[in-house]
Amino acid sequence: MVTSQNPDVLIREMFNKPVDFSMVKEQLIKVRNSMQQKMFSICFCEDEYNETLWLKYAGNYSGFVQIYDLENPDTFMCGKSKECFNCIAAKDPLYFYPIYYSDKRYDATNFALGTLLIDNFPKNSGAIPTPIYQYIQENLMWEIERISLIKKKCHENDQEWRMIRPAIFEQRTCVKLKPCKVIIGLRTPEYESRLIVSAAVNAGIQEIHKLYINDSDELDSKPVQEELYHL
């Protein structure tokens, strides 16, 4: 049973206790799985012609890119249908943050310990005094933001922004956003291009472009050919 002591004292005591190495691997896997179930984010980039992202995330120019106008209220579809009333994230706004690229390693020890405590001792169990439970929860929120927004320096050409969820719960959040434009890759097979065009038309997207390299040897795009609109 945990007593109502200072949270920092509790953490120090946990570090000073003997480690059961036979359980370490199992506990680490448990913490990792718990983190993956609670942390959700969506990645964005301001540059629709970012070559690094076209290579890495669009299958070496064989995929497609969706463009969103985040200043247009029609982009956000959440809250406009009946099922939105039951969404546990409906009241929590979603924010965009730039990724911080650094070679300095991030120490997630406190976050892992906090996650382990929260999972093993639910709030209503009485095993952890309310002040300590709240202390852990408040610190976990900041740690979740740090983990979601820090990447190694070698990825800085990605120029990512991330939309992260502002609350901790295991149910996956549904975010409805309507693209204003779609760009099909240079190497996207024709049959896939036709499927992308068909899906975009059905979604009411007006601008459907195809990627190409312009006279300045830079990535650019232009409207798709008319025949792609016919399967």
In 3D space, the residue among 200, 204, 193 whose CA is nearest the CA of residue 228 turns out to be 193
pTM for the predicted model, two decimal places: 0.73
Report residue 225: phi and psi, to 5°.
-70, 150
224: DSSP letter: P
More confident residue, 72 or 127: 72
Please write the tens of the pLDDT for every residue from 138-184: 777 777 778 888 899 999 999 999 988 766 666 666 778 899 999 99
Taking the alpha carbons at both ends of the chain, their separation in whole angstroms is 66
Residue listed under structure tokens 């472009």: 209
Helix axes 21-38 and 109-120, enclosed angle (nearest 10) = 90
- Residue ranges of the domains in the chain? 48-90+169-231
